[in-house]
Amino acid sequence: MDRIRLVGGNTLNGTIPISGAKNAALPLMIASLLTDDTLTLENVPHLADVEQLIRILGNHGVDYAVSGRREKQAEGYSRTISFTARNVVSTTAPYELVSKMRASFWVIGPLLARCHEARVSLPGGCAIGTRPVDLFIEGLEALGATLDVDGGYINARAPGGLVGTRYAFPKVSVGATHVLMMAASLAKGETVLENAAREPEVVNLAECLNAMGARISGAGTSTITIEGVETLHGARHAVIPDRIETGTYAMAVAMTGGDVLLEGAKPDYLQAALDTLVQAGVEVTPGASGIRIRRNGNGILPVDVTTEPFPGFPTDLQAQFMGLMTMANGQSRITETIFENRFMHVQELARLGAQIHLSGQTAIVDGVSKLKGAPVMATDLRASVSLVIAGLAAEGETVVNRVYHLDRGFERLEEKLSRCGADIERISS
């Protein structure tokens, strides 16, 4: 099993290209099930989750083709992939595939919309809370489907097709918004989704579906209106830059000091996180080519944050920000409101010398003057990179174990950091 070894103390200087967003690429790939034409996606990142979803889509009969490198394109970075679901050969998403990645459960929406039936295993993924599928079930039932749970599978049927409706999400859910938006695209009549997620990834999916012939308005607001159409056609669409990767590298620069251009990053996608970094004493300069992050020798200021749905501070940056706050000049409080079990990185940060104690859903972080390298264990995708951020500033050597979590969501992390001066390498078992 691979490990990441790093020696802290180096500042980061240079340019880091921001990859396509995992959280945008996955629903876009799943949208290929809605049409028998070809959907071509640009800027798809090289990630374990992407490869797993390709296998899952292949099980349903989706063919794919990866385009070759283009001039001036770096080897091993984001690709253009075409997906064609000319014939859906199976409407079952089996446990052995779905259990490895939660987002694969989202195939239930397109399968039900196009084939009027689906049998999908209950999902797996990172162990950061129960994350029930109740909202998916309730929303699809509102669209006229019949669903029941049997033997760990959800059996969904809509013999006459889905029917437009008005549905208000009891709580904001990005995944459920993706699924119902895709499903409603082929429903009969108008669907109005209230209290919908407003994330940039939702907007990216809506733009792609519209390019495929859907009629969706309001994406990016809390009310999305979908006028169902009979069929969708193929399209060509680009995956947006990854705002979580952007925030992660911004915090790495804030932690170590230095001056880095996050090439291709879009400030509008994570303004709350950038504002928080400014409060912490970091220079943030948006420009035409990306976002420049700079911190000189000044200390890190403590900042209190609470995770919220977009446009608030993202839960997917909570662990990284906690890593940064471990060396702040004072006490910070980080409150997690999205997932109930997303502080598993606290014990591992403590191994590096961090001073953190928990009070319910709030982590109280007393900044220390130095961290010291140690062996640590990644527990989930975002937690694993918080250990890298802390290790970049720790004295001596840090070894992060179980880095397969990192490979699920960060494209060539060690390469991007080492090019900017980090002493970091991957150790293969």
113 neighbors 187 (Cβ within 8 angstroms) = yes
Q: Is 370 assigned to a binding site? A: no
Question: Do 150 and 189 share a domain, yes or no?
Answer: yes
Question: Do 184 and 313 share a domain, yes or no?
Answer: no
pTM score > 0.85 for this model?
yes
Question: Does the pLDDT at position 152 exceed 90?
Answer: no
Confidence of residue 267 (pLDDT cuts 50, 70, 90): very high
Name the domain count of the chain.
Answer: 2
Tokens 């062996």 belong to 375
Tokens representing 209 are 């579906």
pLDDT of residue 73: 64
Domain closes at, from 238, 260, 285:
238
Average pLDDT estimate for 394-417: 93
Average pLDDT estimate for 24-36: 98
Average pLDDT estimate for 343-351: 93
pLDDT of residue 251: 98
Average pLDDT, the chain: 94
Higher pLDDT, residue 99 or 10: 10
Question: Do 222 and 253 share a domain, yes or no?
Answer: no
For 72-77, the CB contacts below 8 A with 24+ separation are 74/17, 76/46, 76/412, 77/17, 77/19, 77/45, 77/46, 77/411, 77/412
pLDDT of residue 76: 59
Question: Does the pLDDT at position 270 exceed 90?
Answer: yes
Question: Do 43 and 136 share a domain, yes or no?
Answer: yes
Domain of 100, CATH number, reads 3.65.10.10
Q: Is the peptide bond before 311 cis (omega within 30 degrees of 0)?
A: yes
Q: Specify the 3-state DSSP secondary structure of 390.
A: helix
pLDDT of residue 405: 85
Tokens representing 121 are 């295993």
Q: Which amino acids are annotated catalytic?
A: 126
409 neighbors 22 (Cβ within 8 angstroms) = yes
- Bin 9: left if φ > 0, else alpha if -120 < ψ < 50, else beta: left
Confidence of residue 404 (pLDDT cuts 50, 70, 90): confident
Question: Do 342 and 377 share a domain, yes or no?
Answer: yes
What kind and span of H or E run contains 239? Answer: none
- The values of phi and psi at residue 122, to 5°, are -60, 145
Question: Do 212 and 292 share a domain, yes or no?
Answer: no
CA 345 – CA 347 distance, rounded (Å): 6
- The values of phi and psi at residue 385, to 5°, are -80, -20
Question: Do 175 and 307 share a domain, yes or no?
Answer: no
Q: Is 316 assigned to a binding site? A: yes
316 neighbors 244 (Cβ within 8 angstroms) = yes
Q: Is 100 assigned to a binding site? A: no
Question: Do 340 and 408 share a domain, yes or no?
Answer: yes
44 neighbors 78 (Cβ within 8 angstroms) = yes
Please write the tens of the pLDDT for every residue from 69-91: 666 666 657 899 999 999 999 99
Average pLDDT estimate for 28-48: 97
* Containing structural domain, residue 366: 3-18+241-427
pLDDT of residue 75: 60
pLDDT of residue 1: 80
pLDDT of residue 78: 81
261 neighbors 17 (Cβ within 8 angstroms) = no
What kind and span of H or E run contains 362? Answer: strand 362-366
Please write the tens of the pLDDT for every residue from 156-207: 999 999 999 999 999 999 999 999 999 999 999 999 999 999 999 999 999 9
- Range of weakest confidence among 166-180, 214-228, 241-255, 378-392: 378-392
pLDDT of residue 127: 42
Q: Is 135 assigned to a binding site? A: yes
Q: Is 133 assigned to a binding site? A: yes
Q: Is 155 assigned to a binding site? A: no
Question: Does the pLDDT at position 125 exceed 90?
Answer: no
Question: Do 185 and 306 share a domain, yes or no?
Answer: no
Domain closes at, from 190, 218, 238:
238
Q: Specify the 3-state DSSP secondary structure of 299.
A: coil
Question: Do 221 and 318 share a domain, yes or no?
Answer: no
- Range of weakest confidence among 124-133, 288-297, 337-346: 124-133
Question: Do 266 and 216 share a domain, yes or no?
Answer: no
Question: Do 223 and 284 share a domain, yes or no?
Answer: no
Q: Please write down the HEC assignment for all residues of 49-74.
A: HHHHHHHHHHHCCCEEEECCCCCCCC
Domain closes at, from 187, 221, 238:
238
What kind and span of H or E run contains 23? Answer: helix 22-30
CA 332 – CA 399 distance, rounded (Å): 26
